[in-house]
Amino acid sequence: MQAAEDRQKSYVDLHRRDIEFEVGDKVLLKVSPMRGVMRFCKRGKLRLRKYVSDLYHVLEVENIELDEALTYAEVPKEILNRKVRKIRDGEIVLLKVLWSNHNVEEATW
């Protein structure tokens, strides 16, 4: 049993690397979703990883006008597709809508 514990400990010590951070360093946080609402640090943990900057990580965001309640109105921008679903007594028309302030991947039926 002791030999197995020593083998496991040497494996962990070999592959573990302690990461040190300085003030101003950027890090990536990974927070695992938990069921229910829990207070921070009461259960679960954060995993810190050093961030390596990359120009591909920069996202361009359009200016969104917010009202006093910090909300905005969704306005249909374009109809991307149209389907007709036949039901027993008639038809239902489905439209795939591209909304303002969203990408094509976020269009909804």
How many structural domains is the chain composed of? Answer: 1
Q: Measuring CA to CA, which residue among 78, 83, 82, 73 is closest to residue 104? A: 78
Q: Provide the residue range defining the domain that includes 47.
A: 2-57
Identify whether 41 is part of a domain.
yes
pLDDT tens digit sequence for 14-27: 777 777 788 888 87
Q: Is the pLDDT of residue 29 over 90?
A: no
Identify whether 89 is part of a domain.
no
Q: What is the mean pLDDT of the chain?
A: 79
Pick 14 or 37 by higher pLDDT. 14
pLDDT tens digit sequence for 68-105: 888 888 888 999 999 999 988 899 999 999 988 788 88
Q: Which amino acid is at 28?
A: L
Identify whether 67 is part of a domain.
no
SS3 97: strand
Full-model pTM: 0.40
Identify whether 28 is part of a domain.
yes
Identify whether 12 is part of a domain.
yes
| φ, ψ at 75 (rounded to 5°) | -120, 130
